Structure 1
Amino acid sequence: MKDLNNKPLSIKQYLVVGSMLFALFFGAGNLIFPIHLGQLAGANWIPAAAGFLISGVILPLLSVLAISITRSKGVFDIAKPLGTGFAIIFLVMVHATLGPLFATPRTASVNFTVGIKPFIPDQYVQLAMIIFTGIFFIATFLLAYKTTSILDSLGKILNPLFLALLFIAFLLAFLHPMGNAASQSISSTYQHASFFNGFLEGYNTMDALAGLAFGVAVVSAVNVLGKTNPKSNANATAKAGFISESLVGIIYIVLIWIGATSLNLFKISNDNGGTTFNQFMGHYLGSTGHALLATLMTLTCITTAVGLASAFAQDFHQHFPKFSYHQWLGLNCIISFVVANAGLNLIVTWSTPVLMLLYPFAITLILLSIFSPLFKRNKIVYITTIIFITIPAFFDMLVSMPPMISNLTVIQSLIKIEQGILPFANIKMDWILPGIVGAIIGLIIYKYKK
């Protein structure tokens, strides 16, 4: 397929695509997890940040490139070489994770924890959260019911204002640091293998999954600009992605550093960074700046929630047409409301094992898709690789379960056997070597058959 536009894209066009990528990947969770990582890593914040940038910045960009290279329309197409059944299961798991089970309710719970909770007396927090999340998801449903350009225009205005306020706080943090990051205490899990722990913490952003689910919007935008050839489309997407992901990466590095310096004044938060982000903003901007942040964050989070909810409803209606788009949308918003009121801690606690299972599959499919031109997207390479990573990924999920499950005698026995056999099991990266072996076997079979 030839390009409709053979001329190089202009800087303005790259910025337009880059802003789409930024909006796709940056949400409320992207603010709290880096700052929490900084608190956990302390003096080891640099290697932890390096790991976080790979899973939180590079992988999401690669997921969009995978969509471009394979000319896929979303999660289903990316997994289709493994069969329709597997593709449907993977689509349901990804959209359930990004939708009503974790990411969509998190837009409301993080927003409430960071922006609203500091202004509410303790005895009224639960009631306030019910009211806030109820209004939040009613607004989400109404805006997603029939999306208009108003929401896009709102996002174009709000996001720059939100980022401007954030960068003012960053500047103040550099001019008047809360402490010396290099001299802060290191939590037990980050005293060793801080790079890999940072890499795993990046799973919480869910951005690699978001790239697979929504990356087609970015690829389509590049197509509209005339780059219709898969190779030139991927090249243009990569350049635009470098612009947006550089900004995301800078924000992450600063937040991780701030998290480490905050240990000089504040304790490690028990809500995955929500309280620390609160304390940081209050320390530098005071109550007025905090109130402005809360307002902007609420509005920007609604635009994120609308995008997640509408994408969930569209994909589920396409593959399960018995229910209409609006019925799937309503179900999503109702479940998201219930889950959001369970609290941010509970959402993160249960999302972690799911992400530990999903991410090895997502990373494998992303890499196979990127290198698929080398083996013509032959399904045998996909099948052997996925078979080899399935058991390690399942065990990583078991290890990450809440203690009431992971501490069961039978599960502990299975985990000990697995950790005695597979390399890197103690750092939850035991799926990598089996995945490489599976890919090599698949490639050998492909070459032999060819």
Structure 2
Amino acid sequence: MIFCQKVSNVKERGEFKWKRKFLFQRIFLLDSCYLHFFFGAGNLIFPAYLGQLSGTSVWIAIIGFLVTGAGLPLMGVLAIGISGSSDLQTLASRVHPVYGIIFTVALYLTIGPFFALPRTGTVSFEIGIAPFLGEGNHQIALVVFSIIFFGLTLWLSLSPSKIVDRVGKYLTPALLLFLLILIVTALVKPLGEQTAPAGNYITSPFTTGFLEGYNTMDALASLVFGIIVINAVKASGAKTKRSIAMTCLKAGLIAVGCLALVYIFIAYIGSMSVGKLGLFDNGGPVLSGAADYYFGSFGRILLALIIGLACLTTSIGLTTACASYFQKLFPKIRYGTYVVIFSAFACLVANVGLANLISFSVPVLMMIYPLTIVLILLTFLNPLFKGRRVVYVTTILFTAVISIMEGAKAFKIPLGGLENFFSSYVPFYNQSLGWITFGLCGLVVGIIIALCTKPTSESAKNEVNI
């Protein structure tokens, strides 16, 4: 009997080691999945630019940036997981089926041909090509580069190959390794002294950093690509909503921690770069300038090559995702036609330049980001109000009032007395966060209505799926 007990203990220890090894492998694979989707090369330009403008206030500013640039994408993936939704449109349809389509289309166009897709080309150009050009040659070179870049995107998106996935798997570790070397070198031998903060970073560094995180568009992407992460979690053995959420959370915290460290130190490098490199209108020249300062032309060329290939794989992923969604929405048009349209349109948009593209995207992001954040939060609060649609409707409607005004303000559309009224009486409005106040009001109103009325059949179905 003692012998049997010893054998049993050995078996249990062996099973425990196997489970621990399997769990480690599963977490590692999911971390790679997170980083693949949410660590875009283009994201690096925003903490670098934040660092240049925030200067000595960089630590406060980067905390705000991390909330929207790293924390929200994780929450987006978790929201998809706990909701049990098959895609973004299904989740957004909790408000209304029509809203589900409109919101999903707007989000896909934002992370696709309107902004994020052309940005992959402009970031590659700013970091890889522009530093080697003389003054006056940038516009022609950008046109030629855009045609080549999005021509490759078109070709590879029409005939998806495993080569792209395999190359993409190696590019993220290569980029992280290069950044690690750059960061350590910058810590040992700083570029210079931190400068005084500029613009809104003088008075409100946290809020400005929070809003700067919108530019990553990762919270938007999390609702699109989150289902891929969730499917990877399910394939690894997680079945229940709780196990899916916990696995996503464990892997996500590690990945987000890695992202946060990279963002923090890139911002730190940016905060010390103004005196040595000068002040730029975007973060691309900061990275290429730092690589050149520490490693010479070899460092600049290596960074350009890695980021260029990383942006190309991102471009292909965004193109295929958008084309697949719209082909599903309008099946009469072929997938290949969408790929051609999106690639050609992105090529045209890319030629406005990186700084202009970022500037043009701000009004749209000011409108769509609050709605995205509120939808994610409502998904977590869903059990509180038992999935009642009226709560989704009122909260989104109230939030939309402010988000539309924020977009109009960013477009520089005069709002007259309405602007003065909101500025005087709506908390956080002057910090471009008035949607928080209106969203909370909408939530309270929706819950009160839900308590005073009977649930509809749709709400009852949603409650069953909680």
> What interval of TM-score do these two structures reach, taking the shorter chain for normalisation?
over 0.9
Structure 1 letter corresponding to 2:227: V
SS in 1 for 2:196: coil
Structure 2 letter corresponding to 1:172: T
Q: CA deviation at 1:237?
A: 0.6
User: Aligned partners of 2:294, 2:199: CA distance in 1, in Å?
Assistant: 29
Q: Which residue pairs with 2:168 in the alignment?
A: 155
User: Aligned partners of 2:148, 2:66: CA distance in 1, in Å?
Assistant: 34
User: Aligned partners of 2:196, 2:322: CA distance in 1, in Å?
Assistant: 42
User: Aligned partners of 2:426, 2:280: CA distance in 1, in Å?
Assistant: 34
User: Aligned partners of 2:441, 2:418: CA distance in 1, in Å?
Assistant: 23
User: Aligned partners of 1:123, 1:390: CA distance in 2, in Å?
Assistant: 43
What does 1:22-421 align with in structure 2 at a 5 Å threshold?
22-181=35-194, 184-270=195-281, 272-401=282-411, 406=412, 410-421=414-425
Q: CA deviation at 1:440?
A: 1.8
Structure 2 letter corresponding to 1:339: V
For normalisation by structure 2, the TM-score amounts to 0.90
User: Aligned partners of 1:61, 1:24: CA distance in 2, in Å?
Assistant: 11
Q: CA deviation at 1:412?
A: 4.5
Q: CA deviation at 1:34?
A: 0.4
Deviates more, 1:359-368 or 1:417-426: 417-426
User: Aligned partners of 1:412, 1:109: CA distance in 2, in Å?
Assistant: 36
User: Aligned partners of 2:114, 2:291: CA distance in 1, in Å?
Assistant: 29
1:159/1:300 contact within 8 Å kept: yes
1:423 counterpart (424, 427, 448): 427
SS in 2 for 1:316: helix
User: Aligned partners of 2:264, 2:237: CA distance in 1, in Å?
Assistant: 35
User: Aligned partners of 2:376, 2:159: CA distance in 1, in Å?
Assistant: 32
SS in 2 for 1:234: helix
Q: Deviations over 1:326-373 (max 9, x none)?
A: 111111100000000111112111100000000000000001112213
2:35/2:172 contact within 8 Å kept: no
1:15/1:243 contact within 8 Å kept: no
Call closer, same or farther: CA 1:445–1:306 in 2, change over 3 Å.
same
1:357/1:396 contact within 8 Å kept: yes
SS in 1 for 2:190: coil
Call closer, same or farther: CA 1:47–1:66 in 2, change over 3 Å.
same
Call closer, same or farther: CA 1:119–1:412 in 2, change over 3 Å.
farther
- Runs (5+) with no aligned partner, structure 1: 1-6
Higher Cα Rg: structure 1 or 2?
A: 2
User: Aligned partners of 1:34, 1:187: CA distance in 2, in Å?
Assistant: 15
Deviates more, 1:390-399 or 1:57-66: 390-399
2:288/2:303 contact within 8 Å kept: no
Q: Deviations over 1:142-190 (max 9, x none)?
A: 2111323221111112221222112111111000012243xx2111311
2:150/2:347 contact within 8 Å kept: yes
Q: Which residue pairs with 1:446 in the alignment?
A: 450
User: Aligned partners of 1:228, 1:358: CA distance in 2, in Å?
Assistant: 32
User: Aligned partners of 1:449, 1:230: CA distance in 2, in Å?
Assistant: 29
Q: Which residue pairs with 2:32 in the alignment?
A: 19
Deviates more, 1:304-313 or 1:366-375: 366-375
Q: Which residue pairs with 1:3 in the alignment?
A: none
User: Aligned partners of 1:306, 1:372: CA distance in 2, in Å?
Assistant: 35
User: Aligned partners of 2:294, 2:387: CA distance in 1, in Å?
Assistant: 52
- Runs (5+) with no aligned partner, structure 2: 1-18, 455-466
Q: Which residue pairs with 2:11 in the alignment?
A: none
User: Aligned partners of 2:417, 2:348: CA distance in 1, in Å?
Assistant: 35
User: Aligned partners of 1:411, 1:126: CA distance in 2, in Å?
Assistant: 36
User: Aligned partners of 1:274, 1:154: CA distance in 2, in Å?
Assistant: 23
User: Aligned partners of 1:279, 1:399: CA distance in 2, in Å?
Assistant: 34
Structure 2 letter corresponding to 1:423: P
Taking only the aligned residue pairs, the percentage that are identical comes to 38
Query: What is the number of equivalent residue pairs in this alignment?
Result: 435
For normalisation by structure 1, the TM-score amounts to 0.94
Q: CA deviation at 1:86?
A: 0.7
SS in 2 for 1:10: helix
Structure 1 letter corresponding to 2:166: S
Deviates more, 1:416-425 or 1:208-217: 416-425
Q: Deviations over 1:179-216 (max 9, x none)?
A: 243xx211131111211110000000000000001110
